[in-house]
C-alpha cells in the first residue's frame, strides 16, 4: 500500500517507517525538516519537504503522491507548544485541517490521527477518574491538548460527512531510543538517556509523578492495528490505549536494575509539573481491547531491558555521526 507520513522526522516516524517498510508498504515520508541521518529514516525511499500549515502545498503533495493512507504525525508537543502557542495552533490545528481537506479533495480513503493523553485535564467537578475512560468531559490545559481535542472531533466529522475514514489513538507518553522533542513526558526518556550517557538524571518532575507511558514498539503496533482494522469493528474514531503507569521514582528503580550506579534526583519544573499533574494517572483502554484486540507487550521492566542497549547504540551512532 502507498502510505504518506506527515511529520515523519519525529519520534514516532523514526520507528513507524521501519515497521511499515518491513511489512512491504511503500512509504513516502514528508516533513518540514530534511531527512535525519538515522538508519531508520533512511528506510523510507522517498523524503519530501512538506509544511502542513500550507494548504496549497499539502494538497499538491497529496495530488502528486496519491497515497492510499495518510499517517498524520506532524505536531508541536505540549511543553514546546506552551512556549509558542501560535506555532502549536498553526501546526496542530491548521495543519490537521489542511491534511483532512487535502485528503477530502484528492480522494484519500483513510487517515490516521495521533492524539494523546493531553486531551484530558481536571474537570471543574473534581479529579479525573482513575483509570480515565475514553468518554469523559475534555478539559485540556495546554494548546497542544486543545488542538488535539479539535483534531479528534475533526477526524470524526470528516469520517461522517466526507467519507475520509479517519481513526486514531490517544498515545500515552511514548518512550523510545530517539531524542525527545518538547514533550512534558520527556523526563521518562531522559531517565534512560542520561543514565547511559551521564550516569544519572535530575528529573524535571516530582518522584511521585504518575502518568500513562508506553514503549514505542507497542505504540507503533497500536497505530498500525487501528489503521488496518475493519471499519465495521470500530465503535468510535479515537481510542485510549494503555500499557503501564509507573511513578517517576519507579522508572528510576527499573533503570537501576540494569545500571545500578545510576543516580536520580527530582527537581520539579513548575510549568511542566502542572501539565503532568493535569493528565490522567492511568487509562481505561477497554474499548480498544474489545474492538480491535489491543494488548500491550511491554511492561516497565520489559521496556527497560530492551531499551537500554538501544539507547547505548543510539548514543554511539550519534557520537560517530557528529564527528564526521
Ligand atoms: C507530550 O509530553 O507532550 C507528549 C504527550 C504525552 O502527548 N509526549
Residue 63 Cα to ligand 1 middle (Å): 31
- Residue 35 near residue 42 (C-beta atoms within 8 A): yes
* pLDDT tens, position by position, 28-46: 999 999 887 776 677 777 8
Q: Does the residue 197 lie in any domain? A: yes
Same domain? 148 vs 195? no
**What pLDDT does residue 179 have?**
77
Q: How do 46-49 and 26-31 pair as beta strands?
A: parallel
* pLDDT tens, position by position, 102-113: 999 999 999 999
As to burial, measured by CB atoms within 10 angstroms (0-12 exposed, 13-18 middle, 19+ buried), residue 172 is buried
Number of domains within the chain: 2
* pLDDT tens, position by position, 262-316: 999 999 999 999 999 999 999 999 999 999 999 999 999 999 999 999 999 988 8
Look up the domain containing 264 and give its range: 175-212+244-281+299-316
Same domain? 221 vs 250? no
**What pLDDT does residue 319 have?**
58
* pLDDT tens, position by position, 166-215: 999 999 999 999 877 799 999 999 999 999 999 999 999 999 999 999 99
The H-or-E segment that residue 166 falls in is: strand 165-171
Q: Does the residue 321 lie in any domain? A: no
Beta bridge partners of 4: 28, 70
| 144 is known as an active-site residue | yes
Residue 211 CA: nearest ligand 1 atom is 6
- The end-to-end CA distance of the chain, in Å, is 36
Residue 173 CA: nearest ligand 1 atom is 6
- Residue 211 near residue 251 (C-beta atoms within 8 A): no
Residue 142 CA: nearest ligand 1 atom is 3
CB of 117 shorter than 6 A to ligand 1:
yes
Q: How many CB atoms lie within 10 A of CB 222?
A: 24
Residue 187: give its domain's CATH number. 3.90.25
Q: What is the total residue count of the chain?
A: 324
Nearest CA to ligand 1 atom 6: 173
- Residue 88 near residue 124 (C-beta atoms within 8 A): no
Nearest CA to ligand 1 atom 7: 116
And the C-alpha cell for 295? Answer: 494488548
Counting Cα atoms < 13 Å in the Cβ hemisphere of 301 gives 5
The C-alpha atoms of residue 67 and residue 106 are separated, in whole angstroms, by 9
Residue 323 has pLDDT above 50, yes or no: no
Same domain? 149 vs 252? no
Same domain? 312 vs 205? yes
Same domain? 102 vs 132? yes
User: DSSP assignment of 5-28, as one string?
Assistant: EESTTSHHHHHHHHHHHHTT-EEE
Same domain? 102 vs 182? no
Q: Does the residue 323 lie in any domain? A: no
Amino acid at each position: 500500500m502507498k502510505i504518506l507520513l506527515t511529520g515523519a522526522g519525529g519520534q514516532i516516524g523514526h520507528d513507524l517507517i521501519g515497521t511499515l517498510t518491513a511489512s512491504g508498504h511503500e512509504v513516502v515520508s514528508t516533513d518540514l525538516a530534511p531527512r535525519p541521518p538515522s538508519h531508520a529514516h533512511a528506510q523510507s525511499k522517498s523524503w519530501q519537504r512538506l509544511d502542513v500549515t500550507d494548504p496549497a502545498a499539502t494538497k499538491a503533495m497529496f495530488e502528486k503522491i496519491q497515497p492510499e493512507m495518510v499517517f498524520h504525525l506532524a505536531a508541536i508537543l505540549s511543553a514546546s507548544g506552551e512556549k509558542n502557542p501560535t506555532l502549536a495552533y498553526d501546526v496542530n490545528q491548521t495543519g490537521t485541517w489542511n491534511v483532512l481537506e487535502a485528503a477530502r479533495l484528492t480522494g484519500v480513503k483513510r487517515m490516521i490521527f495521533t492524539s494523546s493523553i493531553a486531551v484530558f485535564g481536571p474537570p471543574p467537578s473534581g479529579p479525573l477518574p482513575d483509570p480515565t475512560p475514553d468518554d469523559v468531559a475534555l478539559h485540556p490545559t495546554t494548546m497542544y491538548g486543545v488542538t488535539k481535542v479539535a483534531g479528534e472531533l475533526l477526524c470524526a466529522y470528516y469520517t461522517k460527512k466526507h467519507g475520509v475514514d479517519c481513526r486514531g489513538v490517544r498515545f500515552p507518553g511514548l518512550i523510545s531510543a530517539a531524542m525527545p522533542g518538547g514533550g512534558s513526558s520527556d523526563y521518562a526518556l531522559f531517565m534512560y538517556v542520561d543514565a547511559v550517557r551521564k550516569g544519572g538524571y535530575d528529573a524535571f518532575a516530582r518522584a511521585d509523578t504518575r502518568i500513562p507511558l508506553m514503549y514505542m514498539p507497542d505504540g507503533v503496533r497500536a497505530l498500525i492495528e487501528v489503521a488496518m482494522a475493519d471499519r465495521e469493528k470500530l465503535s468510535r474514531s479515537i481510542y485510549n490505549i494503555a500499557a503501564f503507569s509507573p511513578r517517576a521514582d519507579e522508572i528510576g528503580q527499573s533503570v537501576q536494575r540494569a545500571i545500578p550506579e545510576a543516580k536520580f534526583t527530582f527537581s520539579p519544573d513548575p510549568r511542566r509539573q502542572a501539565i503532568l499533574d493535569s493528565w490522567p494517572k492511568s487509562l481505561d483502554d477497554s474499548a480498544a481491547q474489545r474492538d480491535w484486540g489491543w494488548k500491550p507487550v511491554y511492561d516497565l521492566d520489559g521496556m527497560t531491558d530492551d531499551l537500554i542497549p538501544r539507547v547505548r547504540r543510539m548514543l554511539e551512532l550519534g557520537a560517530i555521526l557528529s564527528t564526521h
